[in-house]
Amino acid sequence: MADTTLECRGLVKAFGGVPVLKGVSLALDPGTVTALAGENGAGKSTLMKIVSGLVRPDTGEVLVAGRPLHRADPREARGLGVAIVPQELAPISDMTVYENLFLGRELRTRVGLLDRRRMAAQAREMLAVFDVDIDPATPMRRLGVALCQLVEIVKNSSWGARVLLLDEPTSAIPEREVDRLYGVVGKLRERGVAMLYTTHKMEEIRAVADRAVVLRDGELVLDRAVADLADDEIVAAMIGRELGGLFPATVEPGGGAPVLEVDRLHVAGFAEPVSFTARPGEVVGLAGLVGAGRTELLESIFGARRRVGGEVRVGGRPARPSPAGSIAAGMALVPEDRKGAGLVLSMSVLDNGSLPRLPTFCTGGWLRPRHRQRRIGEVMESVGLRSRGLSQQVATLSGGNQQKVVLARWLTQHVDVLLLDEPTRGVDVGARSEIYRLVAELAAAGMAVVMASSDMPEVLGLSHRVLVMRGGAVAGELDRAALDAPDVQRTIFHLAAGSDPETGEPQPLTTSAPRTA
């Protein structure tokens, strides 16, 4: 193992007596990408923290180029050549790109002043190596998440990192930026950097990784070359069982009048109004490219975003354009950003589960603790929440279980319309399967579901009908028969990109949604 850049030997770690890692050993070779997969709670984050010097293992050791990491010290890990690009980036937003790149190692003139001109020039060269075209004098606050991430990667690689840890690097960036990230990963591979790359996405493992390492319940259960693995093998290793089909069988919705009517709803900031309906038991998918207006439409339907005109009706009755009015009308919203807009992370499962319908758990302004405990417990059990109890802080739950809390808290009372925005973002494949089952069961029970998702298999696997959005308007509509067509993804892409699916010619938006069979 003379050529090994990073070696982990028998890493064991427990928190509060609960084992998180159970003797994990792995090695990373120079110029390779190792995908680290596993369900939330499998131990991936703990492993990354140990390797980067943030956490000390109870037993075991980490060696970088044969030199041991003696203690939990990020500076020592960095000195050995280990860098981490976390999922939650924290650039200094009021500083420029070059100031962030040289933070802690600033260049100075002979008299001790900051040599800004030299730092900016060198920053431009550092960025150019990775084909990143940014003015180094640009404030970081003006960059999107994808460019902030690339700047962080450039910063860590510029001081000679041997090992780069990438934690869910595509979870918060637009699809159009993913290829650029892959290009940067490729250049790092050429420079001999060993990378540990955590992801939940099978297509991402195929695109970048040489090897796949899977953790389950703190144990390493798979370590093989990606070329020798089928997707089903990776999934089965992650969840400990055959998935048996990720998506549940689609149950055709019954007849009857639409439960949700969106009538010429004009979202602030977009040029065209949107009209569509959803029947009881129907899952209507919203597809489109980043910036197509799906999130804005859902928020406007729910009353959380200003609308210019139009009306939303539930059960034939107009809903007041506010979250309170929507809740009273029987609507619920699971937002895209569960941590920022869906949960209060410092509060317990019980308190988060009570928030949307707090008055129903009160009498005369006083909480009824037994009633609240019983009802919240029932709905959390119905969604299969895995927790230590209702008193557990939501911040300590896995992403999939956090999402279950956001969904279940609405179910303490009847819901007619469920609005889902990216329902499985940042959720591992096992929890995804459970969330898909929940959505299908709620629809089968008569709920109308409107779901925005950037995950094409998710849209195709759950929806009875799909509206393709572009520029805040509906560019096309596909029924179930069209969704089953072999070229449906090509059709959706053309509609989302503004070209005719048949000819490829530019296709203007119209105020009425064209149907595409």
Decide if 193 contacts 157 (C-beta within 8 A): yes
CA distance 384 to 434: 8
Inter-axis angle of helices 145-158 and 175-190, nearest 10? 10
DSSP 267-328: ETT-SS-EEEEE-TT-EEEEE--TTSSHHHHHHHHHTSS-EEEEEEEETTEEPPSSHHHHHH
Burial bucket for residue 296 (CB in 10 Å: 0-12, 13-18, 19+): buried
Cβ-Cβ contacts under 8 Å for 404 (sequence gap 6 or more)? 380, 383, 384, 385, 431, 434, 435, 438
Largest Cα–Cα separation, the chain: 81
Contacts by 484-492, CB closer than 8 A, 24 or more apart: 488/460, 489/456, 489/460, 491/516, 492/287, 492/456, 492/459, 492/466, 492/468
The predicted structure's pLDDT at residue 255: 75
Closest residue by Cα to residue 85 from 156, 189, 159, 139? 156
Alpha carbon separation from 224 to 1, 298, 353 (Å, rounded): 17, 42, 41
Decide if 448 contacts 417 (C-beta within 8 A): yes
3 state SS for 128-182: HHCCCCCCCCCEHHHCCHHHHHHHHHHHHHHCCCCEEEEECCCCCCCHHHHHHHH
Closest residue by Cα to residue 4 from 30, 32, 26? 30
* Domains assigned to the chain: 6-239 (3.40.50.300), 260-497 (3.40.50.300)
Model confidence at 512, in pLDDT bands (50, 70, 90)? very low
* Residue 38 in this model has a pLDDT that exceeds 50: yes
What are the tokens at 310? 């139009």
* Residue 151 in this model has a pLDDT that exceeds 80: yes
Tell me 195's DSSP state: E
Closest residue by Cα to residue 195 from 380, 5, 10? 5
Q: How many CB atoms lie within 10 A of CB 380?
A: 23
The predicted structure's pLDDT at residue 434: 87
The predicted structure's pLDDT at residue 507: 61
* Residue 241 in this model has a pLDDT that exceeds 70: no
Q: Stretch 496-517: mean pLDDT, rounded?
A: 57
Query: Any idea which residue has 């405990």 for tokens?
Result: 373
Burial bucket for residue 78 (CB in 10 Å: 0-12, 13-18, 19+): middle
By residue count, the chain amounts to 517
For residues 242 and 486, the model is more confident at 486
Closest residue by Cα to residue 382 from 336, 441, 342? 441
What are the tokens at 387? 């927790």
Q: What is the pLDDT of residues 315-331, one digit of tens each?
A: 999 999 999 999 999 99
* Residue 503 in this model has a pLDDT that exceeds 80: no
* Residue 508 in this model has a pLDDT that exceeds 90: no
The predicted structure's pLDDT at residue 97: 93
Average pLDDT, the chain: 87
Model confidence at 433, in pLDDT bands (50, 70, 90)? confident
CA atoms within 13 A on the CB side of 247: 13
Q: What is the pLDDT of residues 296-354, one digit of tens each?
A: 999 999 999 999 999 999 999 999 999 999 999 999 999 988 888 889 999 999 999 99
Cβ-Cβ contacts under 8 Å for 403 (sequence gap 6 or more)? 334, 338, 423, 424, 427, 431, 435
* Residue 13 in this model has a pLDDT that exceeds 90: yes
Residue 99 one-letter amino acid? E
Model confidence at 509, in pLDDT bands (50, 70, 90)? low
Closest residue by Cα to residue 287 from 462, 409, 121, 155? 462
CA distance 355 to 29: 49
Q: What is the pLDDT of residues 182-230, one digit of tens each?
A: 888 999 999 899 999 998 778 889 999 999 999 988 899 999 999 999 8
